């Protein structure tokens, strides 16, 4: 055996780790990847994919309700949750198999077990040590649960994806994207849903008009939102759980779900002993080339201080492989990264919020529109779509595009290209819209808000 068995050994077979490993192997590198769980990571196994499948299923309720306005009588409708979960699990098994075949076809050796860094060129997996020229840490994130009495009685998004039946009453603690997405899933499946938010609103890191529009829509769909609240204890009773809030208020539910954020999954893998610098949350600090503070150790994905988004992890992983193994120094531009929240209705956003823009630019102009999508008119649904453009008046450049409404993710993806190209408001105005569509509103807003 050579002194270095691998050119690259990756710890964590999620989206970022798999992308980097396959690209490195395509350039002739000897690559190994170790994984404690199944291959696929958070996105495929515990996040984006299974969650969106449940979003699709729960959204059918609204489609059925709207169908009557279009002349359809559908009769009795019931959700077989158990059958849905079985179908979801079968799809995850299929994807896991695809990932394994992709790695095998790329020549990447899969090593089962937890990888622990011994030194910058040695990784131990299940008692066996592997030598490598470089180490890539791509261990992702993990749900965070507050340290309050009875917290263990609740579940996280991991367990929520595999519940055997729909609970009658659900309390979800948190106001981020995971919280609002599961609020829509459970409400659409027929549960009574209460969101407990520590701050003044949901999605508070998003544009103000975004979280205001989404809050209104969630409430209209029957989701109760309790703001400025903290759960201080949880107790089990014969008829379910009781959550006591600061101030003495109590909430009751059959299921409590903690959606209180995620933390980098970096504990217990030898990072501190190896001298890798971490921030207070445990995230690995990296530079633009994904280098850590230790020569030869790199990191991508949710385990780092970067944006916790699957496409970002993939892009960073491929860029690293290009830099290290293809003599093609590549870094990723993390500005104006589009993102979506698969709430009901959806949120899509790219670029700066209004607050961020006003902090960076002296003269900011806002264009905003609220309207009922055409589909909602015959359906009798009052829910409105919100669209917003944030523009720098001096340069006329569009700084931010925000939307709350059906198909927001699909619509924002195209406008993200425009922002990446530095599009101006005049260019938006000169673009002919597709009629009738919601998307055309972004190129027909002509009057600044407040004018």
Q: Which amino acids are annotated catalytic?
A: 435
Q: Residue 29 in contact with residue 158, Cβ under 8 Å?
A: no
Q: Side by side, which strands form the sheet with 255-258?
A: 224-226, 192-196, 169-173, 255-258
The phi and psi torsions of 216 (rounded to 5 degrees) equal -60, -40
Asked if residues 233 and 149 have their Cβ atoms less than 8 Å apart, the reply is yes
Distance CA 397, CA 75 (A): 51
Report the distance separating Cα 84 and Cα 78, nearest Å: 12
Return the ∠ at Cα 378 (arms to 375 and 379), rounded to 5°: 75
Kindly report the three-state secondary structure assignment for every residue of 191-224: CEEEEECCCCCCCCCCCHHHHHHHHHHHHHCCCE
H or E element in which residue 316 lies? helix 310-325
* Run of H or E including 315: helix 310-325
* Pairwise CA distance, residues 82 & 71, whole Å: 30
Terminal-residue alpha carbon distance, the chain: 74
What's the helix, strand, coil split of the chain in %, to 5? 35, 25, 40
Q: Cβ distance 146 to 233 under 8 Å?
A: no
């Amino acid at each position: 055996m050579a002194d270095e068995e691998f050119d690259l050994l990756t710890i964590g077979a999620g989206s970022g780790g798999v992308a980097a490993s396959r690209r490195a192997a395509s350039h002739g590198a000897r690559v190994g990847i170790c994984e404690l769980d199944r291959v696929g990571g958070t996105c495929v196994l515990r996040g984006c994919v299974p969650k969106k499948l449940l979003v699709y299923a729960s959204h059918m309720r609204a489609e059925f309700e709207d169908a009557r306005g279009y002349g359809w009588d559908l009769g009795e409708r019931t959700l077989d949750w158990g059958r849905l979960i079985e179908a979801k699990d079968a799809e995850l098994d299929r994807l896991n198999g695809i990932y394994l075949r992709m790695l095998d076809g790329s020549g990447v050796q899969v090593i089962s077990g937890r990888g622990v860094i011994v030194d910058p060129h040695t990784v131990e997996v299940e008692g066996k040590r592997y030598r490598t020229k470089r180490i890539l840490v791509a261990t992702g994130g993990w749900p965070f649960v507050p340290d309050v009495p009875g917290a263990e009685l609740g579940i996280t998004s991991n367990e929520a994806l595999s519940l055997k039946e729909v609970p009658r009453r659900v309390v979800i603690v948190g106001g981020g994207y995971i919280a609002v997405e599961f609020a829509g899933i459970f409400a659409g499946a027929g549960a009574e849903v209460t969101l407990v938010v520590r701050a003044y609103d949901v999605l508070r890191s998003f544009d103000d008009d975004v979280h205001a529009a989404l809050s209104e829509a969630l409430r209209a769909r029957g989701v109760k939102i309790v703001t400025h609240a903290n759960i201080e204890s949880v107790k089990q009773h014969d008829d379910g759980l009781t959550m006591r809030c600061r101030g003495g208020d109590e909430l009751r539910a059959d299921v409590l779900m903690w959606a209180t954020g995620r933390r980098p999954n970096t504990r217990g893998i030898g990072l501190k002993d190896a001298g890798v610098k971490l921030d207070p949350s445990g995230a690995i600090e990296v530079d633009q080339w994904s280098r850590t503070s230790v020569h030869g150790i790199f990191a991508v994905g949710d385990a780092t201080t970067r944006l916790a988004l699957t496409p970002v992890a993939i892009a960073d992983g491929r860029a690293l492989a290009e830099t290290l193994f293809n003599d093609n120094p590549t870094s990723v531009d993390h500005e104006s990264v589009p993102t979506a929240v698969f709430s009901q209705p959806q949120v899509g956003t790219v670029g700066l919020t209004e607050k961020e823009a006003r902090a960076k630019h002296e003269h900011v102009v806002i264009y905003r529109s609220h309207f009922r999508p055409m589909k909602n008119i015959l359906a009798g649904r009052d829910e409105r779509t919100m669209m917003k453009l944030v523009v720098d008046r001096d340069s006329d450049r569009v700084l931010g595009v925000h939307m709350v409404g059906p198909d927001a993710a699909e619509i924002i993806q195209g406008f993200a290209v425009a922002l990446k190209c530095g599009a101006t408001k005049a260019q938006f105005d000169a673009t002919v819209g597709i009629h009738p569509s919601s998307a055309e509103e972004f190129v027909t807003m002509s009057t600044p808000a407040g004018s």
